[in-house]
Structure formats: C-alpha cells, structure tokens
A and B are shown apart, each in its own frame.
Chain A
Amino acid sequence: MFSIVWEMMSKGMDSFSLDFITGLPERSGREGGILPILVSTFLVVLLALAWVFPPALGCALFLSDYRNSSRPLQLVRRVVSVALDGLTAVPSIVFGIIGNAIFCRFFGFGYSILAGALTLGFMIWPYMTRAFEETFASVPKDIYLQSLSLGFSSYTYFRKIIFVPCLPGMVLGIVLALSRALAETSALLFTSGYSDRMPESLLDSGRVLSIHILDLAMNVTGGDQNSYASGLVLVAFLLILNSIFSGAFVFCKRFLK
C-alpha cells in the first residue's frame, strides 16, 4: 500500500513542476505539460455533476419522502431503489459502450466532452442519490411528522425545514460523486475520446486525466515519467479535495448543533 504512494511520489516528483501543469503536451505526451487535459477533465466532470444533480436530488427526495406512503407508491419506490442498485452494478466499461452507442452514434455527438459528461452523469447518479438519501434520512422523524401536521407542502418541507441542516451532507455527497467521476477511466474511453488538444467547444473531443495516464503508460513508449507525474496530480487533487471537504463537513455539523 505504501509502496504505491511512494512509487508515485518518487517517480512523479522528478518531472513535476509548474510548467507541467500549465504546459501543452508535446510529442504525444512524452514531454510538455497537461493543461488541455486538466481543462477537459474539469469540463467533463463539472458538466456531468451539473446535469445529474436535479434528477439525483429528485430521486433521493422520492426515496426518503415516500417511505411510509400508500401501497402503489411503495411499489414504485422499491422499483426505483432496485433501478439505482442496477445502475451501480453496471460495470463502467458497459456505460462506456452504451454511451458510445447512444450519445456518440445515435445522437451524433461523436467523441465529445458532451457525450462523456452525459455518460459519466449516469454513472455517478446512484452514488449521489444514496448520499443525499442518507442525509435526508438522518432528519429526526418528529420534525417530519410535525411538518406534515402543519400541512406544509413537500416543497416547503424541503426548502424551509431540512435544506439548511442537510446542506453539509449534500455537499459531501456532491464531493463523493466528484471524486468518483475524477477517478473514472473506462466509461470515458469511448465517449470523450483521446485527443490531447485544448478543447474549443463542448462538441470537441477531450482527453481526461486518467485516460492520459493510461495512454502514456500503455501506448506511448517513454511516456512513463509523465504518466507518473499525471498520476501524482490526480491523487494529490483527490486527497486534497476529500480532506478539505470532510474537514468542512465535521466543522459544519458542530456549528449547526
């Protein structure tokens, strides 16, 4: 375990510098930096988060609000829960080929950031929904029953009662989904494509960081060095992101109490 991190640090540090982050890749990544790759990574991931947030929130509210409802809705709730489990169960490479078939071919987006983001959204959907649902379930039952007895609509209940106390949990859920999305390779291989140029529009192909690592290590001879350095960037970014937000989460919890 330590050997993995150590390897990454020692080999990555050699070619790591500010120029590496802000430079353009040269000779298919053997030299030069990773700026366009960082840009397309963030475009893909943020776009995916942005489009999947409303349906993921809706699903989470659906699952938590209809827990004690009438029989037919109870059944629908169960089916939705199974469907989300199914989305978690589908391997990411299968998301990749399905995304390729639907978005790249059927809708004609080609290999593009847009197609990658749409595919990735479906992948992180269940993670986001489960995290949201867990936060909503932690609201004490009294509060829910009181708001029902006061005749609040479900929108009022969500916006005025549970929104603020649940906010830290929701942000944590988003960060969880974000780190899932950043780590993803195989779903994007056939949807957002390989091109390492700077993306000019959302319909341009853009290579994300993890595919860059894979490509340099597997297909480009002599690309190992930069591959390790890109790995270092990815891991460092994920760790910083996670530690900042879990720290903030603990702080917020204390503050709200």
Chain B
Amino acid sequence: MIFNAYKIASGIFAILAIAVILCLLLVESFKALSVVPLSKFVTGSWSPSSGDYNLLPMAVGGLAASLGAIFLVAPISIFSALAMNGLIPRAIRLVVRKLFEMMSGIPSVIFGLWGLGYLVPFISRMAPPGASLLAASLVLSLMVLPSAILLVAQAIDDVPREHMEASLALAMSLYNRIRVVILPFTWTRIFSILCLQFARTLGETMAVVMVAGNIPAFPTSVFDPIRTLTGHIALEMPYAEGLHRSSLMLSGLMLCLPSLVLFYLARRFLERVRSI
C-alpha cells in the first residue's frame, strides 16, 4: 500500500515539476508583457537599458541555425543509415556503429570548443569574421548527426523481415527497394527522429554560443554572425534585473513552446507507426 502510494506520489511529482516550470515561465514573462507593449518585442532594437526589447532577431537567428543544421543532417543521416544497413560489410558496420555510439556521448561543449578552435578560423579565412550562421549550423549538425544516424538505422532495421526478403526475391534494384519497401515503412519514424533532433538543436546553448558570434541582428548571409535565443539567455542572465530579466524569461518561454510542440508531434508520429 505504501509502495503504491510512493509510485503514485513520484508520478504526481513529475507532473508538478513540469507544471511549475511552465507556470513560472508564464508568470515571469507576463511581468514584462504587462508593462511593455507587444509591438516592442518584435520591432526596434535590443537595448534593455533604454526600454527596447526586440527578440525577433534572436528568434530568427536561432531558427535559421537549427533549420540549416537539420537540412544538412536529414539527407546525410538517411543515406548513411541506408549504407550501414545494406552496403558495407558486417564487421565494418559494427565498428562504425560503436564509433557513432561513442560520438553521440560527447558533450556539446566539446563540439563548441572544436568549432571555436578549428571551424571558425577556417571560415574566417574565406569570409571574415568567421563566427557565423554557417559555423553554428555546421557545429549543430555535427552534434546531432551521430544519434540521428543511429536512430534512422534502427528504424530501417525494424522494417519487417518478410518484406525485405520479398524485395530481394523479386530482384529489385537498390533504388526500388528504398522507394517501395523501406521508405513507406520508415518515413513516419524518420520524421519523428528529425523533429526530436530539431528540438535538440533549438535548445542547444553552449556549442552555439561559442561559434555564432552573438550579435543581436538579423543575418543577411550565412557568413553573418547571429545570436540565438539560448545564447541570448546565457549571455545576459548574469546581470539582468527587473524587466530585463523577465524579458529573458519570455525568451525562455519562446524556446520551450516550439520544442514542446515538436516533442508532441514526434510522439504522435510514433503512435501512428504503432497502429499500422
């Protein structure tokens, strides 16, 4: 009886935790929303000391970096997962899989460090200043690539065996096998994996702060420095007070909502897979 109570209590604790986080974000950001008119958050400039709270460049910058990363990751992960499942011999495949598993455990701050020491100087030789949207996207895509490949490969592994064997018996070409057998079975799962990885890139802070340049302005090309919402919070939080602080809470809320939606979408897609 006590044991049951313990289980239910910890379940309720989890619900409370997420509820408190969301409520606190709402309450804190409402402090800013109730004083500063809404239009101030999407127009003008960012200078909290003179009452300008334009968060739009940060939102756009973060979104651009994440989208860029996902556009890089999507084809690469699908093709390497396909290669891992059909083209390369078993022994090499196991080694590659172990390598990717190791890679997916590397902390994001290490990717940032690598980007800062290697990628940024490299880009700055082509187009200064180097710390840019491009660098942020590349670092983010490298960061999520190993786990994306592993998950997509797992999805392809789970294609029912009889269908794979039937396609082999019909002597389908590789292209047809992918088109007729593999993709219809896996596209929902691949989509949900990409949703989750997209949420991860949106929420990533440290790797991006180190390579993105952190200037709060709209990027006009891929070589322009950007600032993301996450980096924005990380950089300004230590000295923020009052309205400034609560505008940072608002950016936290702006980060949370899309990633909650993405997680919900991913789960819905997974449930569709199960019901097939």
Contact = CB atoms under 8 A, between A and B. Distances in A.
A binds B: yes
Interface of A: 1, 3-4, 7-8, 11, 54-59, 61-63, 65, 76-77, 79-80, 83-98, 100-102, 122, 125, 129, 153-155, 158, 179, 182-186, 189-190, 210, 213-214, 217-218, 224, 227-228, 231, 234-235, 238-239, 242
Interface stretch (B44-52, B205-213, B217-225): B205-213
B263 A89 contact: yes
Contacts of A80: 11-12, 14-15
Contacts, number: 194
Interface stretch (B155-163, B166-174, B177-185, B254-262): B254-262
A186 B205 contact: yes
Contacts of A61: 7
B9 to A, nearest CB: 7
B129 interface: no
A190 B233 CA distance: 10
B53 interface: no
A186 B24 contact: no
Interface residues of B, number: 65
The main secondary structure of chain B at its interface with chain A is helix
Given A93-B205, A185-B206, A238 B252 contact: no
Contacts of A89: 199, 256, 259-260, 262-263
B25 interface: yes
9 contacts: A7-B117, A58-B6, A63-B11, A77-B11, A89-B199, A93-B203, A96-B237, A179-B105, A183-B108
The main secondary structure of chain A at its interface with chain B is helix
A167 to B, nearest CB: 18
B263 A86 contact: yes
Interface string B112-141: 111011100000000000000000000000
Contacts of B210: 214, 217-218
Contact of A94 (B1, B206, B256, B263): B256
A220 B259 CA distance: 33
A13 to B, nearest CB: 15
Given A59-B11, A210-B107, 17 more contacts: A4-B111, A59-B7, A62-B7, A83-B14, A89-B256, A89-B259, A90-B203, A91-B204, A92-B205, A94-B255, A97-B237, A158-B3, A185-B108, A186-B205, A214-B112, A231-B109, A242-B105
A55 B108 contact: no
A93 B17 CA distance: 16
A62 B11 contact: yes
B70 to A, nearest CB: 16
B15 A98 contact: no
